[in-house]
Structure 1
């Protein structure tokens, strides 16, 4: 697997799984009816932020990540990131590889820590992955997320020093 900088030419491969994940409404706080253009504008970040794709030997996009400063100004020393893995390629280490990549990017860019602002507590695979990489739940906003099946569930704030 190769992780490389994403560009607009990758969007047609990212959009189908991005759209499916967002429309399901189970893990991201994005509007479920986000358009293709809105999704592209929200996901494909420009420098100094970064968006990458993980691809296999044939060039198939397996997943994607975006990374950025969590806040502006005096909070800009903390990084953040988001990840999406094509469900057709789940359970192959793509999410872990993307997360490790973003941690290395953040370290190299001089960030002091990484924070995830809104990890849905029912997204147990993501929570387990992040914990295995050293993230801790700092707090949970009760009923901070309206899950389409489980109703109101908590949103974790997760953090790890770099």
Structure 2
């Protein structure tokens, strides 16, 4: 997929260093993901690449600037609902990387037969993400009061966001 010079492609083993350079500052900050801030590189990459997720990277001018992983949210009777996570390199924010990744994730999920996409745990204070996902058509369908311990703000809410891909 190419949009505005942005290429989204499946990640390869050679992308691991670039993906870690994107994930590490996000995980270390501890403000948006339910990941231990001291997670090791190997543990983080094993989690990011774990089944049932497919991993993608965003390239712009030959540099990996973003990553996503997309797959089934839950097995069995809920296996028609996809889930996804996204991360953008700190130097690449505001360039449309996240928008391209979420559009790609929705298209990929639809092509795989998923009927909906759900984000289980969006930290409410992550206003850029909340705004981006709403702009992409996701609705806030639930609020988990004080479910996330933010390193500066204390306990803050988490949101459940959902989009019906069949109606999109």
Smaller-chain TM-score bracket: over 0.9
Q: Which of the residues 56, 59, 62 maps onto 1:55?
A: 59
Match of 1:153 in 2: 156
Q: Tell me how far 1:95 sits from its aligned partner.
A: 0.2
Contact 1:7/1:44 (8 A) holds in 2: no
1:40 to 36, 45, 58: 45
Partner residue in 1 for 2:12: 7
Query: Secondary structure of the residue that 1:53 maps to in structure 2?
Result: strand
Corresponding position of 1:132:
135
How many residue pairs were aligned? 160
Report the alpha carbon displacement of residue 92 of structure 1 after superposing the two structures with TM: 0.2
Q: CA deviation at 1:56?
A: 1.2
CA RMSD of aligned residues (A): 1.0
CA–CA separation in structure 1 for the residues paired with 2:28 and 2:85? 16
CA distance in 2, matches of 1:153, 1:110: 34
Q: Which residue of 2 aligns with 1:28?
A: 33
8 A contact 2:148–2:157 mirrored in 1: yes
Matches within 5 A, 1:71-82: 71-82=74-85
Choose which of 92, 105, 122 in structure 1 pairs with 2:95: 92
Task: For residues 82-109 of structure 1, give each alpha carbon's deviation from its aligned partner in whole angstroms, at most 9, with x where no partner exists.
Answer: 0000011000000000000000011111
Task: Give the CA deviation at 1:45.
Answer: 3.9
> 1:85-141 CA deviation, whole Å, 9 max, x = no partner?
001100000000000000001111111100000000000000001001111111110
Structure 1 runs not aligned, ≥5 long: none
> What is the CA–CA distance in structure 2 between the aligned matches of 1:108 and 1:140, rounded to whole Å?
29
